[in-house]
């Protein structure tokens, strides 16, 4: 939101931010105006995100887990998945024979 405000002030055009999420339940809760009993600990964040989605200033889209690039920083991954995500980040392996 701070960056969005800065870009507006500088009169720089930008696209609506998109958050990619691999959890379908989270996406459903962020679009659903009814707050469920089991989500009280995230009530404020959820209201904030819902308001942004309803005002069309934020987009939340689903991305399959195998394409969730952030997983490389947060989860232990099998070697093949690690290499795929590393390549998505355009990081080269200087130890390879290429």
Q: From first to last of its 98 residues, what are the pLDDT tens digits of the chain?
A: 888 889 999 999 989 999 888 888 778 877 776 655 666 556 566 677 788 888 888 898 998 888 888 888 988 999 999 988 888 888 877 776 55
Sequence ranges of the domains in the chain: 2-63, 65-98
CA 4 – CA 89 distance, rounded (Å):
24
- Count Cβ atoms below 10 Å from residue 85 Cβ, excluding itself: 20
pLDDT score recorded for residue 53 = 86
The helix (run of H) or strand (run of E) holding residue 25 is: helix 24-31
Closest CA to 30 of 45, 40, 41, 12: 45
pLDDT score recorded for residue 76 = 92
């Amino acid at each position: 939101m701070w960056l969005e405000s800065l870009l507006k002030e500088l009169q720089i055009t930008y696209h609506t931010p998109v958050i990619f999420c691999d959890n379908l339940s989270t996406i459903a809760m962020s679009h659903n105006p009814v707050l469920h009993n089991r989500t009280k600990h995230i009530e404020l964040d959820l209201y904030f995100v819902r308001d942004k989605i309803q005002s069309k200033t934020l987009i939340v889209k689903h991305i399959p887990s195998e394409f969730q690039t952030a997983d490389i920083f947060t989860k232990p991954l099998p070697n093949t998945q690690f290499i795929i995500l590393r390549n998505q980040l355009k990081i080269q392996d200087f130890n390879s024979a290429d």
